[in-house]
Structure 1
């Protein structure tokens, strides 16, 4: 099972990126997680750049989506909304078919952020018919340094929750491929 984990943060020491790295490190052997932490490196979406003019960074991002069996998104909340970089990344996917039937689930690194999550759920339910709204995990990791995030995810209770979350999402992705 190949999962692409997208961090919605452009920050170098992002809690969300650290959480995704920690989750990847404890995933079972049958789940391979690739992390995309480059939303801040994608150019601003413009329909004029689609098709043959598609920037290389966007082409690479779309290839990662295409090659995955499913996508997990972890994102901070900025001013009660989806960070601009993440929304921009999603905008680049709207005209293509790569995201339309792709299973997607959310993972969240904070005890808050419900407004952003509601907006992100609306956007994702619009761009894919496989958004798994009921497969969700929230870990209270906000304001932890990257090493502390790894330690928190490694804790027995969190490790168990992460593995159950990944197994549920993996099953959902497999269910999709068996019915298509």
Structure 2
């Protein structure tokens, strides 16, 4: 059973992307955890240089990423780009190696018809530079997300969107369980 680490690019309590993330975790056939990236300090290599001990939230993120078989990033798009909080989290993972060869899915959702295409493309490029394995068949851009969410449950209720999420997660799970891609369990 694959272990998934999910990161949300939105810190809003009632975020549409948070609803997409919760829905995806409900659908995922495996163990899933989320990382609290809002607690991370601003990226500063001086805090993590040779011989330095990374700040506790950074160490926790790295440990969680290392223990996961796959990563799921769900994010809005701000000003045609990646939200700073998510980019900050990825910056802390760039040089530490937890993402190397790790299967990753990127899902962006937007109230607009583009589905967050700029942020999706930027995240994929950043992850490729980090040597993560971006699973194209597991990546999605969800347009006009607002009416697809039930505000009472804070979950996606639109059946075509749920079906598409199931398909994306199945592709990610398949990639995470291929021989040679499983991450050893953390001690």
Tell me which interval the TM-score lies in, with the shorter structure as reference length: 0.7 to 0.9
Alignment partner, residue 142 of structure 2: 139
Counterpart of 1:150 in structure 2 is 155
What is aligned with 1:55?
55
Q: Which runs of 5+ in 2 are unaligned?
A: none
**Superposed displacement of residue 150, structure 1:** 1.3
Q: CA-to-partner distance for each residue in 1:63-94, whole Å, 9 max, x for gaps? A: 11011000010111111111111111000011
1:159-174 matches, within 5 Å, as 159-174=162-177
Quick check: 129-138 or 168-177, which moved more?
Answer: 129-138
Q: TM-score, normalised by structure 2?
A: 0.82
Alignment pair present for 1:45 and 2:43: yes
Contact 2:14/2:154, CA 8 A, preserved across alignment: no
Would you say 1:26 and 2:31 are equivalent positions? no
For residue 138 of structure 1, report the CA deviation from its aligned partner: 3.3
Instruction: Name the structure where helix makes up a greater proportion of residues.
Output: 1
Distance 1:115 1:139, change over 3 A: closer
Structure 1: 5+ residue stretches without partners: none
User: What is the total number of aligned residue pairs between the two structures?
Assistant: 175
Q: 1: CA distance between counterparts of 2:54 and 2:182? A: 32
C-alpha RMSD of the superposition: 2.3
Give 1:57-96 correspondences, 5 Å limit.
57-96=57-96
**SS of 2:22's equivalent?**
helix
**Aligned residue for 1:9?**
10
Runs of 4+ in 1 over 6 A off after TM superposition: none
